Each structure stands twice: as structure tokens, then as C-alpha cells.
């Protein structure tokens, strides 16, 4: 079990005015601390987000009691487990059933510190489209959409499409039928599962309406099994349709230039890299932590910092 507060020694934590954590396991490549540090530096704040690479929930629960703790980014494997240790959830956190952001509020009656949870991944997905597509009405509004994958990101994608992006239907494309059923059942139980369609074969896809938005929520890989190959062929069918929409490729590590990104560009679709979703979900996190609107945050500086990090990773 790792219990590593990496990169920032305790003495440095003590010199900070406020500190938060990136709490998860396998987080060494995360751009989250860089993103938030860019914001704090630009605003002249002596704040930092500290990587906490750990599977130890008790450790985190002790650390968050520090009076200077402002909140945390919560990533795998803690996004669901953290729910048992929160006082309240925002509508997004409640609906998705997973939290990627812990923030603090105060009970007005007692003055007690309240640990709150939200899910900004859904906002990141939404804003990745609206910040990069000049005409949503012509591109994806009131059209079916596609979600590729069957994990937590796929659920967030369904929520964003259903709640904000005016998707008329959502086609689910995945190699595993049981995973698709789990997504449909969970989204239905949480109130946004209507008009979800499991698209298992190309022949089925050929009978469906053209789509306007695609969100790919799978790692970068070359399909090997027959199920994987069929799922890729289904995606390619939608990409080859006459109407060219916008696709968000959520995978950006180790590189955003994935197989799906490549075939989408070749098919003439508007490609949105997963770092866009990262940027906008991170800005939304700081909206909760800092109490400032996203329009008051240094968006350009964040975009430049992430772009520079991506360029460096290509070298």
C-alpha cells in the first residue's frame, strides 16, 4: 500500500496558506497539480494541491481535518468510496453516483465544517464541447449521440449529454454487453436513463439516425478480440456518416493522439482532445474551492500550461 505525499515535503505544506490534495492511486502522470498551481500562482495565492498517492482512506480522512485544508481532487479508486465520508452531495454528485471533488462549507447554524462532494467531470465534458464547437445547434443539438465505453466516464458522458447537450437519444457502443446493461440500469435508476440504446453490431447501427456528438471513454488500444473489432466498426460507421459532428476523445495519457482521434480526424469530424475536459473540470473545481466564477479564473494561462506539458510529453 502506498502512502506517499509526493513532491511536497511536510515543511513546505506548513509554509502554505492553504493546501489540498489529489487523492488517488497511480497518479504520478496527473496534470491536476500543475493545472491548479497555475491558477493559484496567477492569482497570487500561496496555495498548492499536493499529490497523495494512497489507497488508505483513513489517512486521507485524518489529513482533511487540517484547518488549512481547502478540498481535494478525488480519483480512482476512491470516487465511489468517498461517498460514505461526505456530509452532502451536489445534484451532479448525486446523479452520477461518484465524486471527483471534495470541497468545504460551513453549517450556518453550528459553524461545523461540512465535507461536500460534487462531480465536475460532467461539466468538463459539457464545456469541452461548448468551448470548442462554434454552432452546437447545427452540430449536435437535438440529434442522437454516441458514448463509447462502459465505465464511470461513460456514465458522466451520458449525464452531460442528457442534462445539458440536448441529445435526442444516446447510443452506447462497447465490447461488453453486461457493462452496457449496467450503465443503462444505473442511469435509469438515477433518473436520466431514458432513450439509451445498446448498439452491438454494424447492421444495427446502419438502421439508426446519424449522430452529432461522440464521447469516447476507453483507453487507447488496437482492437484484438472479435467483440472489440465489432465495437470499433460500429464507431467507424457513425464517423463515416454524411453529417460530421464533434467527438471528444477522453483518453489523453500517455498521449491524446489516439487511434480513435486519428480515425475521427480522417473522417472529417471536429476532434476535441481529452485535455479540454481536464481543463474545464479543473476550473470548475476551483470555482468551488476559491468561490470565484470560472470567468474570473486565468483560463488562458491554464490552457497554455497544459499545452506546454503535452508538448513536453511528446519529446
**Count of residues making up the chain:** 315
Secondary structure letter of residue 8 according to DSSP = S
Choosing from 62, 68, 79, 240, which is the catalytic residue? Answer: 79
Between 143 and 312, name the one with better pLDDT.
Answer: 143
Which CATH fold would you assign to the domain 123-273?
Answer: Rossmann fold (3.40.50)
Res 17: pLDDT: 97
State residue 196 phi and psi, 5-degree precision. Answer: -100, 130
Per DSSP bridges, beta strands 145-148 and 101-106 are unpaired
Res 193: pLDDT: 87
- What is the rounded average pLDDT for all residues in the chain? 94
Q: What CA–CA distances, in Å, run from 152 to 16, 99, 127, 130, 139?
A: 34, 10, 18, 22, 26
Digit-coded pLDDT (tens) for 63-83: 999 999 999 999 999 999 999
15 is catalytic: no
State how far Cα 154 lies from the chain centre: 10
Options 3.40.50.300, 3.40.50.10860, 2.60.260.20, 1.20.810.10; which CATH number does 3-119 get? 3.40.50.10860
Residue 147's beta-bridge partner residues?
172, 215
For residues 215-237, average pLDDT:
97
Q: How far apart are CA 100 and CA 285, in angstroms?
A: 9
Secondary structure letter of residue 101 according to DSSP = E
Give this prediction's pTM: 0.93
Q: Where in the chain is the domain with CATH 3.40.50.10860?
A: 3-119
Dihedral angle sign, alpha carbons of residues 263, 264, 265, 268:
positive
* H or E element that contains 196: strand 196-198
* Helix segments in the chain, DSSP class H: 10-15, 32-42, 57-63, 91-96, 121-130, 136-139, 152-163, 177-189, 202-206, 226-239, 259-266, 274-290, 299-314
Copy the grid coordinates of residue 143.
440529434
Q: Where in the chain is the domain with CATH 3.40.50.720?
A: 123-273
Amino acid at each position: 500500500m502506498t502512502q506517499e505525499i509526493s513532491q511536497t515535503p511536510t515543511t513546505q505544506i506548513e509554509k502554505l496558506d492553504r493546501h489540498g490534495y489529489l487523492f488517488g492511486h497511480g497518479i504520478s502522470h496527473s496534470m491536476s497539480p500543475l493545472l491548479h498551481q497555475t491558477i493559484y500562482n496567477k492569482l497570487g495565492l500561496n496555495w498548492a494541491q499536493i499529490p497523495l498517492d494512497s489507497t488508505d482512506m483513513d489517512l486521507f480522512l485524518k489529513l482533511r481535518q487540517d484547518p488549512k485544508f481547502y478540498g481535494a481532487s478525488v480519483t480512482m479508486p476512491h470516487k465511489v468510496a468517498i461517498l460514505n465520508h461526505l456530509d452532502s452531495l451536489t445534484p451532479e454528485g448525486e446523479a452520477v453516483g461518484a465524486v471527483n471533488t471534495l470541497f468545504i462549507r460551513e453549517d450556518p447554524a453550528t459553524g461545523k465544517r461540512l465535507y461536500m462532494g460534487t462531480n465536475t467531470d460532467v461539466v468538463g465534458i459539457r464545456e469541452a464541447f461548448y468551448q470548442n464547437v462554434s454552432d452546437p445547434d447545427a452540430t449536435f443539438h437535438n440529434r442522437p449521440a454516441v458514448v463509447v465505453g462502459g465505465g464511470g466516464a461513460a456514465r458522466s458522458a451520458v449525464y452531460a449529454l442528457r442534462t445539458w447537450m440536448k441529445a435526442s437519444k444516446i447510443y452506447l457502443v462497447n465490447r461488453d454487453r453486461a457493462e452496457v446493461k449496467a450503465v443503462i440500469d444505473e442511469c435509469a435508476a438515477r433518473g436520466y436513463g431514458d432513450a439509451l440504446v445498446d448498439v452491438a453490431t454494424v447492421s444495427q447501427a446502419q438502421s439508426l439516425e446519424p449522430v452529432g456528438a461522440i464521447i469516447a471513454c476507453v483507453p487507447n488500444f488496437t482492437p484484438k478480440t472479435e467483440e472489440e473489432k465489432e465495437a470499433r466498426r460500429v464507431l467507424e460507421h457513425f464517423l463515416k456518416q454524411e453529417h460530421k459532428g464533434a467527438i471528444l476523445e477522453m483518453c489523453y495519457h500517455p498521449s491524446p493522439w489516439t487511434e480513435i482521434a486519428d480515425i475521427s480526424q480522417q473522417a472529417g469530424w471536429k476532434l476535441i482532445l481529452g485535455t479540454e475536459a481536464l481543463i474545464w473540470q479543473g476550473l470548475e473545481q476551483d470555482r468551488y474551492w476559491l468561490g470565484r466564477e470560472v470567468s474570473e479564473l486565468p483560463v488562458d494561462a491554464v490552457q497554455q500550461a497544459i499545452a506546454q506539458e503535452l508538448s513536453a510529453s511528446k519529446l
